Structure 1
Amino acid sequence: MDLKIREAQKKILGVFSKFAKSFALSGGTALELYYLHHRFSADLDFFSPKYNISEIEKLVSAFQKVVGTNMNLKEELSVEGKARVRFYIASVKGTKRPLKIDFVEDVVVLKPRIRKFKGVRVYDVENIYLQKIVAIAGLKPELDEIGRSISKGRREARDVFDIYMLSKKIEPLHLFLQKVSNHLQRGMIHWYRTFSRQDLKLALLDLDIYEDKFDSKEMLIYLENEIKKFIEEVLK
């Protein structure tokens, strides 16, 4: 764990608890701090279906004051048909790792359930679970090289690990998949059939996982069994 980044995160969340109106914390850090306590997550991901620019600017201004450094707008995405996103980055004294803060228009969970932890607005764990499925499966179906409709997401190791822990601690994956759309179900099955086991194992080494005895092979077997269970139940 990067203690300097964690200290900065806590300061920012303290301010966020006072000034946030529509945005709420989601993603890996929300899972780590409030639900799973499974791995260190360095980024702060704030989501809102409303995506209020004025609110973003007010929050960033307040964040800068509490951490004592500028937060630079690294990138802004605004593409028709896709989520709007603002990426901010700031240096933190005492660490080489930058603090990254994202403000994301939520086009997946249009009416999120918001919980509060010491005043901090946080997405309900089932909403985050769905977002993680979308991260792996892809938001919209695409055509492959021979014209078949497939769903494919970013396939980051952290998302796979998060789904693994969500499946073990919140709800088994084969049951949760029964509640999502058909294209997300197909996307997860496509991921299961095509992802590189070796690449995933290597990428997992870069994660700061808290469980000392974590076994990537055990994780892969578990997830494969969950997907197989889901397929078997669909075919009944």
Structure 2
Amino acid sequence: MKLYPFQDGIRKILSELNLPFYLTGGTALSRFYFNHRYSDDLDFFVNDDNKFDEYCKLIFDELVNAQAEFNFVLDRKSVSKASNFMQLFLLKDNIELKIDFVNDVAPHFGEFMFDSLSNRIDSLRNILSNKFCAIYRFEPKDIADIWIICKSFNCDFVEILSEAKLKDASVDPVTIYDILISFPLDKLDLIKWVKEVDVEIFNKELKIIADDIFNGRKNSLAEIYI
């Protein structure tokens, strides 16, 4: 996938700034943990950091200065900046890379990992609680990410959902159960899988996750695979 070398080049540039951002979301899951689906965007977070604006200026200036050497273009017309958010679009060889930088006011859970580029990588625990917060978007990729994490991560769903609720008060186990149990399997075709999944197995395992959540149990799916 041509986008991945582009991602890696940009991540290397950013890592040399030694800023406290960590890579999270689908790209962290797919590039660092599981390689289960292709993820196009880069999501970098810090948590309640009062130097966020300073970091954003450093990042913007560094990327502007790196354009010629690394043969990409920063689309200045598409730059979006708010108090706790910056979004950039980089273009190279007809490839568009979206990068979000977020100063997240919500608490963080779990320990960071580090990849070969010395980038901080978010914990599975924190990504999972974020995915439960995001499940109300009804995005197939969020369901796929919840499924792949639960296959590999021992956890207690009562604890994870309690942590998710600290981030988003609307998080509700019964609603999450309903969303998981009623997920339309034809939507799996919208996900850019690295390797095709078995739909019947996916459906069976998603129901195991849903039942564990509904009944306030530990993640029993991980016990099957670990």
TM-score (norm 2): 0.78
Paired amino acid for 2:81 = E
How far has the Cα of 1:189 moved from its partner?
A: 2.4
The verdict on how the C-alpha distance between 1:192 and 1:6 changes in structure 2, with shifts beyond 3 A counting, is same
1:54 & 1:182 partners in 2: Cα distance? 29
State the match for 2:130 in structure 1: 131
Q: CA 1:11 to 1:233, structure 2 compared with 1: closer, same or farther past 3 Å?
A: closer
Q: What residue number does 1:108 align with?
A: 106
Question: Is the 2:161–2:171 Cα contact (8 Å) retained in structure 1?
Answer: no
Matched, 1:223 2:222: no
What are the equivalent positions in structure 2 for 1:85-124 lying under 5 Å apart? 85-93=85-93, 95=94, 97-110=95-108, 113-118=111-116, 119-124=118-123
State the alpha-carbon separation in 2 of the partners of residues 186 and 111 from structure 1. Answer: 16
Aligned-pair CA distance for 1:76 = 3.4
Unpaired runs of at least 5, structure 1: 79-83, 137-152
Q: How does 1:12-161 map to 2 (within 5 A)?
A: 12-49=10-47, 50=49, 52-64=52-64, 65=66, 66-72=70-76, 73-78=78-83, 84-93=84-93, 95=94, 97-110=95-108, 113-118=111-116, 119-136=118-135, 153-161=136-144
Tell me the amino acid that sits aligned with residue 32 of structure 2. Answer: Y
Q: Distance in 2 between matches of 1:53 and 1:216?
A: 44
Q: Call closer, same or farther: CA 1:233–1:90 in 2, change over 3 Å.
A: closer
SS at match of 2:120: strand
Output the aligned Cα RMSD. 2.6
My pick for the range that moved more, 16-25 or 218-227, is 218-227
* Per-residue deviation, 1:110: 4.1
Tell me which residue corresponds to 1:170: 153
Q: Is the 8 A contact 2:44 2:101 kept in 1?
A: yes
Write the distance in 2 (CA, Å) between the matches of 1:206 and 1:230. 25
1:197 to 159, 183, 206: 183
**Helix, strand or coil at the partner of 1:41:** coil
Contact 2:113-2:121 at 8 Å conserved across structures: yes
User: What does residue 7 of structure 1 align with?
Assistant: 5
Matched positions, count: 204
3-state SS, counterpart of residue 197 of structure 1? coil
For 2:198 and 2:61, the matched residues in 1 are separated by: 42
TM-score (norm 1): 0.75
- After superposition, give the CA deviation of every residue in 1:46-92 in whole Å (9 maximum; x if it has no partner): 000116112122123323414531143443355xxxxx322211222
CA–CA distance in structure 2, aligned partners of residues 102 and 112 of structure 1:
21
Give the equivalent residue in structure 1 for 2:191.
Answer: 207
- Taking a change above 3 Å as real, the CA distance of residues 19 and 228 of structure 1, as seen in their structure-2 partners, is same
In structure 2, the CA distance between the partners of 1:76 and 1:22, relative to structure 1 (3 Å rule), is same
Return the letter of the residue paired with 1:197.
Answer: F
Matched-pair identity in %: 23
* In 2: Cα distance, 1:71 partner to 1:32 partner: 26
Equivalent residue, structure 2, for 1:141: none
- Structure 2 unaligned segments of length 5 or more: list them: 218-226
Counterpart secondary structure, 2:215? helix
